[in-house]
C-alpha cells in the first residue's frame, strides 16, 4: 500500500475572450461511465433551448469553473478520486457572437473501499465512532463527500465532548494498482477545554436583560466545552424573538490548567430588535375551507412589545381582516377565473380582534405560557354557510421536545353567536339564547424533519391532535376527537420528489347529551385534501331524515370518521416552473357502521407550479376516478404552496 495525499484545484480554462457570448452548443468528451445527458443535466452552462424564453444562456467564466468543480465532485462521489474536468470554450463555427463549450473529462480509475480505521485521538471516544463510519462500506466505491462529511462528524463529536480544538484528517491509502483504498481518519484531539466564564456583549436597549440571556444559555461556566450546547444556546436566544444577531464563541487565549486541560472564556455577542413595534400588513393567503388563491385578501395591524418589563415577556394587540373576491352579491367558496372579470366584489370572511400575552419561562421553567383572547365579528363559516360572532379565551403551554418536535397543551372556552338561524336550524346547531358554548381541552404534537418548508425534498411532517370537549367540562357540546397525519418526502431518481400523506381522524360523542357540531366533525374535498371535488363537498349531508329543512338541507353534515391518502410525484421542468402528477383517495363517514371500502372515492390529476421566493403558486386540475373516466367531470384548483 502507498499513502496518497492530494487536493483538488479548479483547472484553468485556456485563454478565451469572454464577451458574454450566447451558448449555442455544449459537448462532453472523455466520459465512459456516465452518459452525456446525465452530466449535462448538472451543469450551469447550458445551450440555448426552445423553452428558454426568459434567458439567453450566456457564457460565464464563473459558471465554467463551478461546472468543472461539480463534475469532479460528481465523479468523486462515485469512486473516481482522480477524475479531472476541464472546460474549453470556443467560437461557434458559423457565428462568432455565439460559443460552443467542450467539457473534457479524464475519469481515471475507479477506487473501492478496502478498510476504515483511526489513528490518534482518545481511546474512550474512539470506541464510539463505529456509527459515524457506517455509510463507508468496504467493497463499495469510495464516496469522497461521505468521507469528508464523516471527518467533520468525528471532529464535531470530539468538540461535543470538550475537545474544542480537535482536528480530523482523512487519508487515502491507495493500492499499487489504484483500485483499492484504505481510509484512515487521523485525529488530533489537543487539550480538553473547560469554560472559565461567560461574557455578554449586547447593545444598550438590552443591557438590563442579562438574566433573560443567561437563562437561555445551556453551556455553563465551569463545565467542559460542548459544541452542541453552544449551538443550542444560540438557537434558544434566537427563538426568544428579542435578537436579530447572536454569536457565541471562544474569546481570548487558552489558559493551560493541567497537562492536557485548558480553560477558555465564551463571549456572547447580541444585537437586539426593537422592543416596541407597530406592524401593518397587506397580502394574499390561503384560508382554511376556502379553496381559491384570492380567497383571503388579508390586512392586519398590530402593536406590542417583545420585552415587557425587561423580562422577555411579550404582548400583542392585533386587528386582522380577510376578504374573498367573488361576484358581487354572491357567496362562493371557490374562485373561478370568470369571477375576476364579472363585477367582482369583496366579501368579508374573517374579522378578528386579538390580544396575546406570552410568559416565556413559566414557574421558572422553559415552558412558554400563552394567553389568547380573540373576538371575531361577523366571521363566515363556509361549512354551514353562516356568519357568526365568537369570543374565545385560551391559555396554553408549549414545549420543544427536541430540535424537530414540540407539544402544546391548551384549554379553550368559546362563546359563539350564529347569525341568521331559523327556528328549524336552531336545534341542529345547538343554539340556546342565540349562543353555543364550547369548553375544550386540547393537545397537539408535531414533528417536522423536512429540509424545506415550501418545497420539501427529504424528511417528513407528522402531527397529532386530541380534543376533549364538554362532558365533565360543561358546555353545549360533548365529544372527544383525534386526528393523526403523516407526510413523507423522498427523492425518487435524481430530480423527482415522491410525496405521500396519510391522515386518519375519529370523533366519539360523550355522555347522555352526545353533541358535536358540524364544524367539529370532519369534511373533505378541495385543494388541500381531496382534489377534483369542491371544498367540503364529500361526506354526509343534512337530509330530511335528520329533521332538517331550510338552508341547511343538502349542506355538509360532517363525518365522525376520516380517511385520506395522497400520492404525488413532483419535479422541476424548466426555469421557475415545475410539474406534478397525483392521486388522492378517501372519504368521511358519519359513523363507523357506514364505512365501506367501495365508498372510498378517488381522483387523479396534474399540476403546474411557478416557484416564487415565498413558495410555489400551484395550478392543478383533478378528475374523479371512476370505471368510466370523464375528464370533463373534474375541478381546477389555484392555490399557494403544495397541497401537503
133: domain CATH number is 3.10.20.310
Q: Are residues 231 and 320 in the same domain?
A: no
- As a whole number of angstroms, the longest Cα–Cα distance in the chain is 92
Q: Which of 188, 217, 244 is the last residue of a domain?
A: 188
Nearest Cα neighbor of 247 from 196, 213, 208, 205 is 213
C-alpha cell at 193: 477545554
Q: Are residues 552 and 474 in the same domain?
A: yes
Q: Are residues 421 and 409 in the same domain?
A: yes
| Cβ within 8 Å of residue 332, ≥6 positions away | 324, 326, 339
- CA dist., res. 292 & res. 335, Å (int): 5
Q: Is residue 392 part of a domain?
A: no
What pairs with residue 203 in β-bridges? none
Q: What domain range includes position 357?
A: 276-382
Looking at residue 345, its pLDDT comes to: 64
Looking at residue 48, its pLDDT comes to: 73
Question: 35 vs 32, 104, 572, 621, CA distance in Å?
Answer: 7, 13, 20, 35
- CA dist., res. 472 & res. 466, Å (int): 16
Looking at residue 232, its pLDDT comes to: 92
Q: Are residues 99 and 120 in the same domain?
A: no
Query: Domain of 508: which CATH number?
Result: 2.40.160.50
Task: Calculate Rg over the CA atoms of the chain.
Answer: 31
Q: Is residue 390 part of a domain?
A: no
C-alpha cell at 182: 484504505
Which helix (H) or strand (E) element contains residue 601?
strand 601-612
Phi/psi at 419 (5° precision): -85, 150
- CA dist., res. 534 & res. 97, Å (int): 54
pLDDT means per 10 residues in the chain (644 residues)? Answer: 42 64 91 92 82 69 93 96 94 85 95 95 93 93 96 96 95 94 95 93 70 89 95 92 91 88 93 89 67 63 90 93 64 48 67 95 91 92 83 95 93 90 78 82 97 93 96 92 97 87 96 85 90 86 80 86 96 89 95 84 94 88 76 76 90
Looking at residue 332, its pLDDT comes to: 45
Q: Are residues 365 and 480 in the same domain?
A: no
Q: Are strands 180-188 and 459-469 parallel, antiparallel or unpaired?
A: unpaired
Q: What domain count does the chain have?
A: 5
Answer for the pair 290, 296: CB distance below 8 angstroms, yes or no. Answer: yes
C-alpha cell at 439: 369548553
Q: Is residue 394 part of a domain?
A: no
Q: Are residues 587 and 524 in the same domain?
A: yes
Q: Which of 86, 106, 126 is the last residue of a domain?
A: 106
Q: Is residue 458 part of a domain?
A: yes
- CA dist., res. 43 & res. 68, Å (int): 9
Q: Is residue 388 part of a domain?
A: no
Q: Are residues 436 and 521 in the same domain?
A: yes
Q: Is residue 467 part of a domain?
A: yes
Q: Are residues 183 and 204 in the same domain?
A: no
Q: Are residues 147 and 208 in the same domain?
A: no
**DSSP per-residue string spanning 279-334:** EEEEEEEPPTT--SGGGEEEEEEEEEEEEETTTTEEEEEEEEEEEEEEETT---SS
Q: Are residues 488 and 626 in the same domain?
A: yes
Q: Is residue 393 part of a domain?
A: no
**What is the rounded end-to-end Cα distance, in angstroms, of the chain?**
53
Dihedral of alpha carbons 239, 242, 244, 245, sign? negative
Looking at residue 535, its pLDDT comes to: 81
- CA dist., res. 114 & res. 137, Å (int): 9
Q: Are residues 223 and 344 in the same domain?
A: no
Looking at residue 399, its pLDDT comes to: 93
3-state helix, strand, coil in the chain (%, to 5): 15, 50, 35
Answer for the pair 324, 292: CB distance below 8 angstroms, yes or no. Answer: yes
- With 0-12 CB in 10 A as exposed, 13-18 as middle and 19+ as buried, what is 394? middle
C-alpha cell at 139: 467493497
**DSSP per-residue string spanning 414-481:** EEEEESS--HHHHTTTT-BTTBEEEEEEEEEEEEE--S-SSS--SEEEEEEEEEEESGGG-SS--EEE
Q: Is residue 424 part of a domain?
A: yes
pTM, 2 dp: 0.79
Q: Are residues 474 and 551 in the same domain?
A: yes
Q: Which of 54, 87, 106 is the last residue of a domain?
A: 106
Amino acid at each position: 500500500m502507498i499513502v496518497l495525499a492530494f487536493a483538488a484545484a479548479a483547472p484553468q480554462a485556456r485563454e478565451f475572450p469572454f464577451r458574454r457570448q450566447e451558448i449555442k452548443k455544449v459537448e462532453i468528451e472523455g466520459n465512459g461511465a456516465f452518459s452525456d445527458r446525465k452530466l449535462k443535466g448538472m451543469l450551469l452552462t447550458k445551450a440555448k433551448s426552445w423553452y428558454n424564453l426568459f434567458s439567453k444562456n450566456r457564457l460565464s467564466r464563473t459558471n465554467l469553473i463551478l461546472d468543472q468543480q461539480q463534475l469532479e465532485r460528481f465523479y468523486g462521489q462515485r469512486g473516481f478520486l482522480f477524475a479531472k474536468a476541464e472546460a474549453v470554450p470556443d467560437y461557434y463555427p458559423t457565428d462568432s457572437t455565439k460559443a460552443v463549450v467542450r467539457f473534457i473529462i479524464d475519469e481515471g480509475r475507479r477506487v473501492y473501499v478496502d478498510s476504515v480505521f483511526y489513528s490518534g485521538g482518545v481511546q474512550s471516544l474512539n470506541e464510539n465512532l463505529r456509527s459515524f463510519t457506517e455509510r463507508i462500506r468496504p467493497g463499495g466505491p469510495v464516496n469522497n463527500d461521505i468521507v469528508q462529511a464523516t471527518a467533520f462528524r468525528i471532529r464535531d463529536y470530539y468538540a461535543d465532548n470538550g475537545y474544542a480544538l480537535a482536528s480530523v484528517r482523512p487519508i487515502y491509502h491507495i493500492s499499487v494498482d489504484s483500485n483499492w483504498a484504505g481510509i484512515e481518519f487521523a485525529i488530533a484531539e489537543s487539550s480538553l477545554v473547560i469554560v472559565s466564564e461567560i461574557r455578554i456583549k449586547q447593545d444598550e436597549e438590552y443591557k438590563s436583560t442579562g438574566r433573560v440571556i443567561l437563562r437561555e444559555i445551556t453551556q455553563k461556566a465551569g463545565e467542559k466545552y460542548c459544541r452542541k450546547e453552544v449551538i443550542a444556546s444560540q438557537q434558544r436566544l434566537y427563538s426568544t424573538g428579542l435578537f436579530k444577531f447572536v454569536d457565541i464563541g471562544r474569546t481570548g487565549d487558552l489558559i493551560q490548567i493541567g497537562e492536557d486541560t485548558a480553560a477558555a472564556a465564551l463571549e456572547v455577542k447580541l444585537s437586539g430588535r426593537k422592543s416596541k413595534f407597530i406592524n401593518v400588513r397587506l397580502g394574499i393567503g390561503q384560508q382554511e375551507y376556502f379553496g381559491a388563491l384570492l380567497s383571503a385578501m388579508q390586512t392586519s395591524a398590530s402593536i406590542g412589545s417583545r420585552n415587557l418589563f425587561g423580562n422577555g415577556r411579550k404582548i400583542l394587540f392585533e386587528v386582522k381582516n380577510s376578504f374573498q373576491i367573488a361576484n358581487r352579491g354572491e357567496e362562493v367558496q371557490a374562485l373561478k377565473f370568470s369571477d375576476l372579470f364579472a363585477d367582482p366584489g369583496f366579501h368579508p370572511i374573517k374579522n378578528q380582534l386579538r390580544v396575546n400575552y406570552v410568559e416565556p419561562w413559566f414557574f421558572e421553567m422553559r415552558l412558554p405560557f400563552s394567553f389568547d383572547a380573540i373576538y371575531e365579528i361577523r366571521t363566515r363559516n363556509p361549512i354551514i354557510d353562516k356568519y357568526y360572532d365568537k369570543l374565545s379565551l385560551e391559555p396554553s403551554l408549549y414545549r420543544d421536545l427536541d430540535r424537530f418536535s414540540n407539544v402544546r397543551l391548551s384549554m379553550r372556552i368559546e362563546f359563539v353567536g350564529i347569525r341568521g338561524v331559523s327556528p328549524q336550524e336552531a336545534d341542529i346547531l345547538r343554539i340556546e339564547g342565540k349562543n353555543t358554548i364550547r369548553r375544550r381541552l386540547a393537545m397537539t404534537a408535531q414533528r417536522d424533519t423536512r429540509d424545506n418548508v415550501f418545497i420539501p425534498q427529504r424528511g417528513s411532517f407528522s402531527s397529532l391532535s386530541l380534543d376533549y370537549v364538554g362532558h365533565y367540562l360543561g358546555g353545549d357540546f360533548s365529544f372527544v376527537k383525534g386526528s393523526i397525519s403523516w407526510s413523507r418526502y423522498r427523492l425518487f431518481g435524481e430530480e423527482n420528489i415522491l410525496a405521500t400523506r396519510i391522515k386518519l381522524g375519529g370523533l366519539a360523542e360523550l355522555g347522555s347529551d352526545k353533541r358535536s357540531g358540524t364544524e367539529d366533525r370532519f369534511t373533505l374535498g378541495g385543494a388541500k385534501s381531496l382534489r377534483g371535488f369542491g371544498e367540503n363537498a364529500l361526506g354526509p349531508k343534512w337530509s330530511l331524515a335528520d329533521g332538517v329543512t331550510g338552508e341547511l338541507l343538502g349542506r355538509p353534515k360532517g363525518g365522525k370518521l376520516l380517511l385520506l391518502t395522497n400520492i404525488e410525484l413532483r419535479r422541476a421542468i424548466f426555469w421557475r416552473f415545475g410539474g406534478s402528477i397525483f392521486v388522492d383517495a378517501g372519504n368521511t363517514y358519519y359513523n363507523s357502521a357506514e364505512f365501506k371500502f367501495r365508498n372510498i372515492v378517488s381522483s387523479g390529476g396534474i399540476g403546474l407550479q411557478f416557484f416564487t421566493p415565498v413558495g410555489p403558486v400551484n395550478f392543478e386540475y383533478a378528475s374523479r376516478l371512476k370505471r368510466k373516466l370523464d375528464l370533463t367531470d373534474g375541478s381546477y384548483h389555484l392555490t399557494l404552496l403544495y397541497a401537503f
